[in-house]
Structure formats: structure tokens, C-alpha cells
Amino acid sequence: MTVPANRTPLTQRPEWQALATHARAQVGTTLRQRFAADPRRGERMVAEGAGWYLDYSKQRIDDDTLRLLLALADACGVGERIGAMFAGAHVNATEDRPALHVALRAPAGTRIVADGADVVAGVQDVLARMEAFARDVREGRWTGATGRRVRHVVNIGIGGSDLGPAMAARALRHYVDGPRPRFVSNVDPAALREALDGLDPAETLFIVCSKTFTTQETLVNAAAARAWCVAALGEAAVARHFVAVSTNEEGVRAFGIEPAHMFGFWDWVGGRYSMDSAIGLSTMLAVGPARFRELLDGFHAMDAHFRSAPPEANLPVLMALLAIWNNDFLGAQTVAVLPYAQDLARFPAYLQQLAMESNGKRVTASGERVDVQTCPVYWGEPGTNGQHSFYQLLHQGTRLVACDFIGFCQPLPAPGEDADDVRRRHDLLMANLFAQGEALAFGRDAVQLRAQGTPEALVAHKTCPGDRPSITLLADRLTPHSLGALVALYEHAVFVQGTIWGIDSFDQWGVELGKQLARATEAELAAPGVDGDAAAGHDSSTRTLIRRYRQRRGG
């Protein structure tokens, strides 16, 4: 295992200490005061790249804050780490391998070398196989066992093998003109039951997504789906109704899937960075190869911006630095992700894994205990629903929550809809986005309320303190290209944060312990009898819970 040498603890760096001093000096300066002192602030504190416009003027910063943050990034080697990642260096230190998700969307002919081999040619080969298969399915040349066309695709995976494709399917549903995708990840039997509800086995294709083909939840669900298919169509039907995204040819063959119908990917692709790999096969089947290429083009456009734009105009770098400022210097422990687009309903859940599995770490890449707070908690819901749910806390609660607003300038009318009516409703949606950012920043004070005639007894209750930081991200329209660029934007922002914190953003050792304990506990739950010492190795709470479950589960 290759790990970086120990580095100076972050809080001992002069750049960090300068920011801490600066943060103390900023106490009491409000966003209202900042905007009053600089009438062009909202025009200056913006950046643009890959079709996305970032307004960060409603952050609690000034020009000196930005200068100090950029100095911190430079001192932590952000520029060098960006170059190293794109060059195929082993930036995933604890697993001693590259993190080359950028190769998944590199144009054909690009050369990216990892461990002495150009990886882009292999990526393009898998893409070509995916496209050929997608065309066969979409055009009716690949049929089910009875000769009927595939009309539904069920993606079986978990984590990165589910969250990315499921988010993309929802986000791009206006572009779906092929088999309708459904997704199952949870091992709860209700999840598969819901995914199969109303489907005809003769018209259903399953994609089993597991790199190792050993992921417990995925294989349990795949076996149950297989039994459902076999019960209706017979054992021979498995080969026509199941394909795999995996690297385990032996396991795939044992399941009944021909290796020719297995689509691979690589160890240098982490699960949460894999939606633009073969894990996106369900997306390609739904929207078609051309649209999927547009998605990849969007990813690549943001990659190019990230790699070439100067730090002060670089969207991922700016977002990462602002997130560190809010988290480590202002004490904002959570980030609310607020897409004003119903089609991005699953984006906050996707971002939870991307951010918190990547940067939810307590030691540096060299194994030293970090001396600052790392990843904040990400959560959120689409606007305007959230306004009638948790925005009360955002405006008047005691916790500081940083907010990411995401919106689009143009709606996507469905066929048969009145375009003018859709535009009017979209105007209302966006009016709410802009108003909420403004209200969080500037609030409403007692002077304003009294001038409006508010009874004195209600002034305190109606006061909104403001000074709540937010960014706003705008693109023209939600398209495959803009979605790819948006995902890449957050991917790279997460990487920059991890670089500054000194952690490995590409491993996830913390998820292993629970899995290991669950495997042992499952055997104990299945053991015959009710009492005895089957759960003797556990603490008293877990023993009691296991005993009660076995007594009352029935069967």
C-alpha cells in the first residue's frame, strides 16, 4: 500500500491560522452590510463553466476571505493533486490505485495512462459494446425468451450501482424513449415486490450490477428476481432476461448469464463515481446511445473546466473552498441541497453518498487523526416542497445550514402541454428559488416588521435573522449534458475538499464493519430454536433484540 508522507496538521498551517483569524474578525458583519458596501457584489462573485453559472455572492465572505481560501488550496497542493488524478497517479492511497472516473468520459483518442497502460481504449470498447446491445434491445432485435420486445428494465444494485442510475433515470425521464427503467437496491422484500409490480416477465430485462458479483444485497435480490422469471418462463429464459455489469465472469456464468452479456469496469472506478460507466447501462437503454454520449460530454466539459480554469474562476474549486469555510470556520455542520426541479428529486440522495462516503473520514491518508471537522451532512428535497417542510429551520432555527440552490432557466414541457402555461408555472418555481435565497441572506428585522404594522407581541416571532449562506447554480435546461456537468462539478468539489483535509476521498473502509457483523448475525437469526447461545457473542442489547426477533418473527 502506498500512502503519502505525514504532513503538517492542518490547523498548524499558517494559511489555516490566517483564515481562523480572519473568521473571528468577520463576526458581526452581515450579508446586508456586505451588499450595501458593494452594489456590484452580485455581479462580481460569480463564475461560469461547462454550461453552469455559479452565484456565490450570498456566502459570508469578502475578497480577503477568497484570497485566503485560495492560498490554503495552493498550500495544500490542490493544483498538483488535480494533475495527479488526471495523470493516473495512485491518488487512492489506501487501496494503492488511481481514481480515473475522468477516463470514463474522455473522448475517443484521448490518452490517459494508468500503471503503464492507456485506459481510454478499454473504456471505448465497453461503450461500443453497450451501444450495440442498447440498439439491439431498443430496436427489437434482442427479445425475451418468448420473442416479445423488452419494455421494462430492472436495475439490481446497491450504493453506487443504484443511486447514480436511479437519479439519472428520474432526471432524464423527459428523454426516455426506450425500455422504462426501474430500480431495486434494498434487500427488504418489499423493494423487489414494488419494482416488479405490474411487469410482465416476458417483456422484462434485468441488469445485475455488482463489480465482484458477491454483493450480498444485490445477489439476494437477483436470485429472487431470477426465481420470479423462471417461475413464469422456465430456466432457459434466464439467458434472455438477465445481463450483468461485473468483472466476475465465473460468478456471472454460474448465475446463468453468458459472459458475452457481461459488461465490465475497472478497479479504478469507485462505485459512487460509476454512473457513467457500464453501471449506466439502464440509462443508455432508456434514453439511447446518443443521449448517453451527451451525458458523457457534459461530464467531460466539466472535467476540462476543472483541469484548466484558474482557481479563482474554477467552479469545483470555489464550491469546495466555500464548503470548507462554512464547515470549518462558520460551524455549518450540514448542507441542504435544494434543486428547484422535480426531476432532480433523487439528486440529494445521490450526493449524500458521493460526499459522505468520500469525505466522511476521521484520519488522513497517512493514518493521522484529522484535527478539523471533515465532511458535513448532506440532505435535501426539491423546492417548493421543502419550503412547506424544513425551511422554517433554515430561516429561524438555531443551527446554521449552508444551502445549495439548483435551478434551470427553461422548463421542459411534455408533449401535449400548453407551453405558455408551463412557462408561467416555471416562472413561479424560479421566483421561489430566488426569493428563498434572498430571504435566507437578508432576513427581516424588527424595524421592518414594526414599519409594516406588525403587533409588538409578534415581532420577535416574525423576525428572520438572515445571514444564512447559500450558493445558486443555474443552467439553461436540464439535459443529459447539463446533468453530466452537474455531477462532475460535485465530484470534483468533493475531491478538492478531501485534498485540503488530507484524507483519501476514494476509499470507504467504514462501511465494512456493519457488513461483516450482519453476515454473522444472519446465520444466528436463521439458526433453529428460540433460545440458546446463538447470540452469545453480542452485547446484551443486541442479544436481547435477536432473542425477541426470533421469538416473534413467526414462521
Marked catalytic residue, from 250, 388, 456, 512 = 388
Cα–Cα distance measured from residue 523 to residue 502, given in angstroms and rounded to the nearest whole number: 39
Which letter does DSSP use for residue 464 in this model?
B
Question: What CATH architecture applies to the domain 11-75+309-411+433-501?
Answer: 3-Layer(aba) Sandwich (3.40)
Q: Identify whether 357 is a catalytic site residue.
A: yes
Q: How confident is the prediction along the chain (555 residues), in pLDDT tens digits per residue?
A: 455 666 789 999 999 999 999 999 999 999 999 999 999 999 999 999 999 999 999 999 999 999 999 999 999 999 999 999 999 999 999 999 999 999 999 999 999 999 899 999 999 999 999 999 999 999 999 999 999 999 999 999 999 999 999 999 999 999 999 999 999 999 999 999 999 999 999 999 999 999 999 999 999 999 999 999 999 999 999 999 999 999 999 999 999 999 999 999 899 999 999 999 999 999 999 999 999 999 999 999 999 999 999 999 999 999 999 999 999 999 999 999 999 999 999 999 999 999 999 999 999 999 999 999 999 999 999 999 999 999 999 999 999 999 999 999 999 888 889 999 999 999 999 999 999 999 999 999 999 999 999 999 999 999 999 999 999 999 999 999 999 999 999 999 999 999 999 999 999 999 888 888 888 898 888 776 545 555 678 999 998 898 899 888 876
Q: Identify whether 438 is a catalytic site residue.
A: no
Helix (H, G, I), strand (E, B) or coil at 404: strand
Largest CA distance in the chain: 78
The answer regarding whether domain 108-290 maps to CATH 3.40.50.10490 reads yes
Q: Hey, what's the cell of 93?
A: 492511497
Which letter does DSSP use for residue 379 in this model?
E
Q: Identify whether 515 is a catalytic site residue.
A: yes
Cα–Cα distance measured from residue 162 to residue 80, given in angstroms and rounded to the nearest whole number: 32
Angle, nearest 10°, between helix axes 480-501 and 63-75? Answer: 70
Does 11-75+309-411+433-501 match 108-290 in CATH topology? Answer: yes
Helix (H, G, I), strand (E, B) or coil at 477: coil
Reported pTM: 0.96
Marked catalytic residue, from 95, 217, 294, 357 = 357
Cα–Cα distance measured from residue 77 to residue 537, given in angstroms and rounded to the nearest whole number: 47
Q: Hey, what's the cell of 482?
A: 447539463
Cα–Cα distance measured from residue 93 to residue 133, given in angstroms and rounded to the nearest whole number: 36
Marked catalytic residue, from 80, 312, 461, 515 = 515
Q: Where are the domains of the chain?
A: 11-75+309-411+433-501, 108-290, 512-552
Q: Which residues contact 555 (CB under 8 A, 6 or more apart)?
A: none
